Amino acid sequence: MIATDQPATSVMPEARYEQLVQAVVDYAIYMLDPTGHVVSWNAGAQRIKGYRADEVIGRHFSLFFTAEDCAQGRPERLLLQALEQGVAQDEGWRVRKDGTQFWALAALDVIRDEQGRIIGLAKVTRDITDRRDSALQLDAMRAQLFQAQKLEALGQLSGGLAHDFNNLLTIILSSARLALTSQDPERIRRMLEHIVDAGQRGTQLTQQLLSFARHRQLNVARIAPVDVVASTRSLMEHALPQGIELVEQLQANLPAIEVDAGQLQMVLLNLMFNARDAIEGQGRISLVIECMQLVGEIEGLQGRFVRFDVQDDGQGIDPQVMPRIFEPFFTTKPFGKGTGLGLSQAYGFARQSNGAIRVASASGKGTCISLYLPACPEDQPLTDR
Ligand SMILES: Nc1ncnc2c1ncn2[C@@H]1O[C@H](COP(=O)(O)OP(=O)(O)OP(=O)(O)O)[C@@H](O)[C@H]1O
Ligand SMILES: [Mg+2]
């Protein structure tokens, strides 16, 4: 028996395209005439927007936009952009037939005939409400994680700070007592100077803490790495035990970076807390900052980067533990000592800032964590702060 099915080539190509477009239900695919009126309608468009073909064909596509978008001329702007540039893309709220809204990702492409004349526009729209919701949830979680980490970091700092405040109060009280009992005007003056000096140092400390603790939105600005290091160092000094030395090695003329300074400060503090915790007794933490050219060797990154190395000569990371250190809530520290959020926060920050984070460690020899952040182009000035 000879097969009686029609060979595929005998079906008109246009009919096949039509079948294809009609079969798609996840995308609204339809055509507009050059003035923005609907010319064709597929099953996906009906499913996503709720209109049947006979209800929309001939109507202007502004029908799918919210009243505010229409008032601001968004449909016309999109149409104009597509006609002038050949393509226009948009993301925003769209309205279904029943009045409910969905978050759409839409593309508008010009279609031309053989002579190059515009005969219409192809419109492809996707309902990405779910994707947007998950992205928003992820942002909210990230913000919560950031807050939790900040509290943890403040907790880490507060022990050292309480000690420093106590020292300042001791200076103030003893100087005041001495001044009260002294008859010598010169001595009284010296005591008062001690008091003012200690008070000023206390104010500085609280100011640093307040600026660190303040809840801020992601606040990306062009900053000099040196400034972040200076404020991180002054906080860190209160959290280091006697036997641990902090060394800095900053290359001269480092380029600016464009990141959230508060987050970078917290990431550096966390890396230094980790380094501190890895050192038993005497040791050294080095912060090395250099500018370098990457050519794809670090997670495919290319271009000029500023690398922040936090290096310690502590116990190192066990190879069995290594694959898990960036997991949220993974910690090898005893209860109450670590929450396991520091490195996951650092990882998230590096990714969000278009950079990367790398670890090099050998058991018993120490650890080096390198944070790569993109350098700003040289001709751009620092943001006024
Ligand atoms: N410099 C380091 N030296 C040795 N081990 C390290 C170092 N940095 C991280 N680790 C290991 O990685 C684990 C995870 O680090 P992470 O900073 O995410 O959490 P944590 O320090 O345990 O807790 P948290 O940072 O929330 O206080 C640590 O528990 C530790 O085992
Ligand atoms: Mg940590």
pLDDT of residue 215 exceeding 90, the answer is no
7 pLDDT band (50/70/90 cuts)?
very low
Quick check: pTM over 0.75? no
Tell me how far the alpha carbon of residue 59 lies from the centroid of ligand 2, in angstroms. 59
240's CB contacts (< 8 A; 6+ apart) are: 160, 246, 276, 285
Contact 22, 41 (CB under 8 A): no
pLDDT given at position 217: 53
Q: Is the CB of 153 under 6 A from ligand 1?
A: no
For the CA of 344, the closest atom of ligand 1 is 18
Pocket test for ligand 1, best of 330, 343, 358, 359 (most atoms within 8 A of CB): 343
**Residues of the chain with pLDDT > 90: what percent?**
62
- 341: which DSSP letter? -
Q: Is the CB of 341 under 6 A from ligand 1?
A: yes
Q: What residues form DSSP beta bridges with 202?
A: none
Q: One-letter amino acid identity for 202? A: G
Tell me how far the alpha carbon of residue 132 lies from the centroid of ligand 1, in angstroms. 32
Q: Is the CB of 312 under 6 A from ligand 1?
A: yes
pLDDT of residue 258 exceeding 80, the answer is yes
Q: How many residues does the chain have?
A: 385
pLDDT given at position 211: 64
321 pLDDT band (50/70/90 cuts)?
very high
Atom 5, ligand 1: residue with shortest CA distance: 317
pLDDT given at position 2: 41
Q: Over the chain, what is the mean pLDDT?
A: 88
Could you read off the pLDDT of 175-206 as tens digits, one per residue? 999 999 999 999 999 999 999 989 988 887 77
pLDDT given at position 3: 43
Cα separation, 24 vs 187, in Å, equals 90
Q: One-letter amino acid identity for 197? A: D
Of 91-95, 221-225, 282-286, 341-345, least confident by mean pLDDT is 341-345
pLDDT of residue 145 exceeding 70, the answer is yes
Atom 31, ligand 1: residue with shortest CA distance: 332
pLDDT given at position 8: 47
Ligand nearest to the CA of 309: 1
Could you read off the pLDDT of 34-60 as tens digits, one per residue? 999 999 999 999 999 999 999 999 999
| Nearest C-alpha neighbor of 126 from the set 107, 109, 105 | 105
**Residues of the chain with pLDDT > 70: what percent?**
92
pLDDT given at position 6: 46
Q: Is the CB of 286 under 6 A from ligand 1?
A: no
Ligand nearest to the CA of 321: 1
